[in-house]
Amino acid sequence: MLKLKRVDIQGFKSFYDRTEMRFHGSGVAAIVGPNGCGKSNLSDAISWVLGEQSAKSLRGARMEDVIFAGTRERKPLGMAQVTLTMSDPEAHREHKLLEAGVLNGTHGTNGTSGTNGHHAHGNGHQKPADITITRRLYRSGESEYLIDGKTARLRDIQDLFMGTGLGPESYAIIEQGRIGQILSNKPADRRAIIEEAAGIGKYKNRKRLAESKLESAKQNLARVFDILEEVGRQANSLKRQASKAKRYEELRAEMLNHLRHAVAGRFRLLESEAAKLALDLGQAQTNFQTLTAEVQTKEQEYTRTQESCYQVEAALTSARGRVAELNLESERTRSRVELQARQIGALEERMAAGETETRELDERHQRESTEIAAHQESIAGMERDVQDARQQLDAKARERDALQIHLREREQSLEAARQAVLRLLNEASGLRNQLAQADEYLASMERDAARARKEEECSTADLARLEQSKSELSTRLSARQLELESLTGRRRRVEDELKQRRERVIESRQALNGLRDLLSKQKARKESLEGILSHRAYTTESVKHLFQQQPEGFRPLGVLADFVEVTNPDWERACEEFLHEELEYVVVDGWNDAERGVEVLRAESDGRATFLVHSATDTATRIPDLSSEPSVAGALRDAVRLTNGFSAAPQGFLSRLAHCFLVHDRAAAPRLAEAHPDCYFLLPDGASYHGHTVTGGKKSSGGPLALKRELRELTAQVEVRDREADERTAALEELERSAALLAEELEQVRGLQQTQEKDALAMDHEQRKLAEEYARAGSRLSAARLELERLARQDQQARAQREINQTLVAEKEQARFDQEKTVEVARGEFDGLQAQVHAIGEAYSVLRAGLAGLEERARAEKTAAGRLEAQIQQLTARREQLARDLERMGVERAHLLTDNIELDQRAQQLHEHTAEATGRVELLTAQEAGGREALAALDEALKTLRGDAQAAQEQRSRIELELVRKQAELKYLDETSHKELSAGAQEIAALLESARTENHAAAVKAMGVEESEQRYQEVRARIEALGPVNPQALEEYQEAQQRYEFLNTQRQDLLDSIRDTEKAIQELDTESRKRFQEAFENINTNFKEMFQTLFGGGVGEMRLTDESNLAESGIDIMASPPGKRLQHIALLSGGEKSLTAMALLMAIFRYTPSPFCILDEVDAPLDEPNIQRLTRLLKEMSHDTQFIVITHAKRTMEAAQSLYGVTMQEPGVSKLVSVKFDPLPVAAAPPAMATAMAAV
């Protein structure tokens, strides 16, 4: 059996440094030390490395609390690591014998200890049969598990120790408080400990995996049945399609033969017509070139004459411009003279005003100087008053301090009297606490009894309710199976009708192919837009889900985008981006529809949607009037209108729309947003300003409004060409709608069928669950009745003790009352003295307030004087500034007078130059008129020549157009040939001509191209009459048949797997019951013996709460210490409970020894005789199980072969010291051992 060999700890709780604990095989090891030094942290470390996942069980709030948190001297660590090494001594012994080469050799067992009491050895090579388990936790939350240095899973570690007592339901690590939990746990929890000892945990784990596999296999089987049925129908359909595909290939070969003859004949005919047109085009080109040369000669002469006229016009324009410039310069000169005259007048007025202001400043300076002298005299008087008030305040302070000293002396006397009262109060309080504990105990008994009675009532009611539920569920399950049979027949009928309807849709669509060739591009875009808008592809997934599923009881009218149009196209994009979220609102008739839509989303979708109630009353809103703002183009609500029967005004239910205004100027938008924070200001590019926010960016694609507008425009364009196809289109749409309705009905039937199947499975599962609940309710009823009997006995004992405590409390209260009277007299004297101190304090406060008022008045006077001095300085600076301004304005006035004289002289010179320029303009005007007459004559001649050239060009264009048309027909014919025959028209013609004889060629020519084309169309019509053909039908039919056979095999495999899994579960249940019964009987026998050993007599035993249900029955423990009746363990004392729990653990270890056992202060509630019996039992059991005991008891230390001491020399950091010795009495221990024990 594995034994604990070594534990390495670093960074776990208080163990900062790397700490190593070595254990010496079997025996008892004791861990000792003062309270709070970290002993229990060693137990927590071992529990943690074995996979404990509860931070609460490790005495922490979060798992990262196990990492060293730091002290005043040491920083926190980032990782905690614990390594557990376990070894098999027998495997080690065999390994050493093999190394020595002998089978009967011996080896030394020297037990001397070093510093830590361990043998020195290397850590590099791992011996055989050693298992090392490591767990690391980082402060970031990451964790690691390792087995023998290799990364492992938590499940691997749990599987490794399952059934050894170290698994998830471990009974080998008994920390503080666990003893009481073992006995106070529910019967079902005690059963888990017995199951762990019996090794049933691995069987339960296998059963859970098998049940999960069984459920998955049943679900897969249901899916395979559905797929198998669907694949069978597909195979039958593909068989019919393969026959049609063969007929199609035969007709297609005949059609291509007629097409080759038609292409060859049409190609030769077009080729000869194109050659004749090429000759006519050459003659027309020659005639056109001759006329063009004559036109060019005449145009050159016209150009020379025109250039001469342009030169005269340019000179005339220049002369007129000169006259205009001179007139403008004269006007500017006169305007400047008038402006400067006005400036001179303004300067004279400003100079007069400056002289007046100078006189006023001199008068203010004299007045304020007088006020400063008066303030200085007032300040001197106030300073004398402040000095007197300070002297009075100091005298009153001395009087107050003397009285306060006397008051403190009296307070000390009063405090001494209070302490005497408190001592009496504490004595009475202790007695009252005992009485309150008794009351609380009685109340607790009453609550427990009420809970037990309630549990009894609930269990009885549950039994009746479960019996009725089982009956009702059986009836519902039968009805549901009948409904499933009806739905299956309905589904087949709908599928057959849908298949026929879809075939008719395909035939109607093929009849429209010819008419739709010219409309394909526009109709494709139109259908795309209609699809986007009808399916609301621009909306969120939640909104699309609502319209696609159309759940029962919910009929939306549409989204808001279906009802909105923008009257001004310039603002359409901006409006669309601004109202992006509102356009996705789902419009419904009333609040009931809105609430139903929310319920559907919660049940069937992960998203959210907003619902707009059409019938809701419009909400009045206050909108500011911004018509006076020049940058505001208008309100957005005026540019939006509602259509499709939406009666409400948009601003009544869209607040953002009501408060949005259109702005052309981007610079004005921020200003308007800050001035009107409740409004939105929208720019043409879609950016919007609101308060201190701006929203904008680049829109990736067109929104619903743009799509609707494009759809309207496209519909108008297509309408002209679409009239011919209306009747057939209407018939096709009707067929498609009916097919869609059938498809929707089929989906609904399938969904309903799947729902009914799931419900049937759920009912079957619920039926089994009800049976289990019925059994558990019976167990709870029995436990509640036993609990009521126990509580009645304990209540009677507690009430007798309470009467004794009440008498003692009354006596202590009377003594306290007498002492409190003495305290009241002393308090009255203290209160009188305290009143005198308060009166003097008030007088002191009055004097201090008066002093503060005088000081404040003095500061105010000083502030006023300073303000007047600053004003005088400002007046002086202003007078100096006025003097400088008057001097500057005089210089400026003289300069303007001189400038006006010069401007008058300049005006006279300009008048003379203007007269000279006007004469030149008149001369050039006469020359221009002669040039225009010559140009008119040349223009008339050019018109005649150009008309002749135009006629020649038109003739050439007609011939050229006809040639291009023939060439286009040849090109189209060649493309058609390549497309249909995979060869060019010329190549087809050459091949046919080379393959025919001359007589046959003449016969074909006589037959004509038209007849070949007619036969081609007839065969093509026969192909189209076949309907849609699947060219891959034969291959798909073979694949479908293979898939059908594969699925049939899979179905049989799943049925075999389900049968085998159910058989395995039955075998696991049988084995688990067998093992549990064996373990229970053996452990119960051991428990009876261990109970008598630890108690020195008495009776203890375990009982099943429901012996008829061995698989689920809980376990009760009955105990009768020596001299007492047999009773429930809840009635035992604390020490008796500890011994009973230890008896149960020892009984389990005797049946299934665990590699080691950790006992954390389990001997704390025991007296020395009981501790001695416990340690004697531990020594006997230590041959099979390694015991590690955390203790303070000397008797327990005496029983240990190894002693480990935990100290905390540095606050917050634990250290380990260990000693190994032969077991001796403490009194006879050698000096070295006594010193070690004293150290710990």
Confidence of residue 165 (pLDDT cuts 50, 70, 90): low
Higher pLDDT, 513 or 1147: 1147
Gap between the Cα atoms of 49 and 81, Å rounded: 8
Q: Would you state the pLDDT for residue 868?
A: 77
DSSP-assigned letter for residue 619: P
pLDDT of residue 81: 94
Assign 650 a pLDDT band (cuts: 50, 70, 90): low
Q: Is the dihedral of CA 1161, 1166, 1172, 1178 positive or negative?
A: negative
Paired strand residues for 911? none
pLDDT category at 7 given cuts 50, 70, 90 is very high
Host H or E run for residue 1159: strand 1156-1160
Q: How confident is the model at residue 1046 (pLDDT cuts 50, 70, 90)?
A: confident
pLDDT at 1230 over 60: no
Q: Which token pair is 866?
A: 């300073």
Query: Are the CB atoms for 1091 and 1100 separated by under 8 Å?
Result: yes
Residue 200: Cβ-neighbour burial (10 angstroms; 0-12, 13-18, 19+): buried
Averaged pLDDT, 630-649: 75
pLDDT of residue 112: 34
Which residues are CB-neighbours of 347 under 8 A, at least 6 positions away? 889, 892, 893, 896
Residue 8 is encoded by which pair of tokens?
Answer: 């390495």
Lowest mean pLDDT among 163-167, 673-677, 780-784: 163-167
According to the model, what pLDDT value does residue 653 have?
A: 64
- Residue-wise pLDDT for 394-409, tens only, equals 777 777 777 777 777 7
pLDDT at 824 over 80: no
> How would residue 135 be classed by pLDDT, with cut points 50, 70 and 90?
very high
Q: How far apart are CA 1 and CA 1146, in angstroms?
A: 18
Identity at 210, one-letter amino acid code: A
- Report the pLDDT value the prediction gives residue 518, as an integer from 0 to 100: 57
Read off the pLDDT band of 687 (50, 70, 90). Answer: confident
What local confidence, expressed as pLDDT, does residue 649 receive? 61
**3-state class (DSSP) for residue 17:** coil
Average pLDDT in the chain: 76
Task: Please determine, for residue 389, whether its predicted confidence score (pLDDT) is greater than 80.
Answer: no
Task: State the Cα–Cα distance between residues 762 and 894, nearest whole angstrom.
Answer: 112
Instruction: Over range 709-732, report the average pLDDT.
Output: 73
Above 80 in pLDDT, residue 223?
no
Query: What is the pLDDT averaged over residues 90-98?
Result: 52
CA–CA separation, 969 and 961 (whole Å): 12
Average pLDDT over residues 837-851: 77
* Structure tokens, 597: 């839509």
Between CA 630 and CA 665 the distance in angstroms is 9
d(CA 955, CA 363): 106
Neighbours of 684 (CB within 10 A): 14
Q: What angle do CA 614, 620, 622 make, to 5 degrees?
A: 135
Mean of pLDDT values over 550-572:
76
Q: What is the DSSP letter of 80?
A: E
Strands 586-588 and 558-559: antiparallel
Using one digit for the tens of pLDDT, what is the confidence trace for 694-714?
888 765 456 677 777 777 777
Q: Between 726 and 459, where is the model more confident? A: 459
Distance between CA atoms of 1176 and 1163, rounded to whole angstroms? 13
> 648: pLDDT confidence band, cut at 50, 70 and 90?
low
Residue pLDDT, tens place only, 921-936? 777 777 777 777 777 7
| Token pair of 360 as six digits | 């006023």
Q: What tokens were used for 888?
A: 């500057």
Between 427 and 630, the higher pLDDT residue: 630
* pLDDT, average across residues 70-82: 89
Residue-level pLDDT at 9: 93
Higher pLDDT residue, 858 or 533? 858
| More confident site: 509 or 286 | 286
- Tell me what pLDDT residue 532 has: 65
Answer with the residue of higher pLDDT: 805 or 369. Answer: 369
Whether the Cβ atoms of residue 145 and residue 152 lie closer than 8 Å to each other: yes
Residue 1159 vs residue 946, higher pLDDT: 1159
pLDDT of residue 1233: 37
Residues in a beta bridge with 19: 9
Q: What percent of the chain is predicted at pLDDT more than 90?
A: 2
Q: Does the pLDDT value for residue 331 go beyond 50?
A: yes
- Range 421-440 average pLDDT: 69
Per-residue pLDDT at 127: 42
Please say if the pLDDT value at position 8 is more than 90.
Answer: yes
Does the pLDDT at position 454 exceed 90? no
Mean pLDDT confidence for 542-565: 76
pLDDT 10s digits, 337-346: 778 788 788 8
> The whole model's pTM is what?
0.39
In the chain, what is the straight-line distance between the N-terminal and C-terminal CA atoms, in Å? 32
In the chain the domains, ranked by start, together with CATH numbers, are: 1-172+1236-1240 (3.40.50.300), 539-702 (no CATH)
Strand order in the sheet with 558-559: 558-559, 586-588, 611-613
Q: How large a percentage of the chain has pLDDT more than 70? A: 83
Q: For residues 204 and 209, give the distance between their C-alpha atoms in angstroms, rounded to a whole number.
A: 9
pLDDT tens readout for residues 984-994: 777 887 887 77
Q: Does position 308 have pLDDT exceeding 70, yes or no?
A: yes
Per-residue confidence at 178, pLDDT binned at 50, 70, 90?
A: low
Please name the helix (run of DSSP H) or strand (run of DSSP E) that holds residue 895, with its range, or none: helix 726-981
Query: Average of pLDDT values for 802-831?
Result: 73
Residue 1238: per-residue pLDDT:
36
Cβ burial, residue 820 (10 Å; 0-12/13-18/19+): middle
- pLDDT band per the 50, 70, 90 thresholds, residue 1162: confident
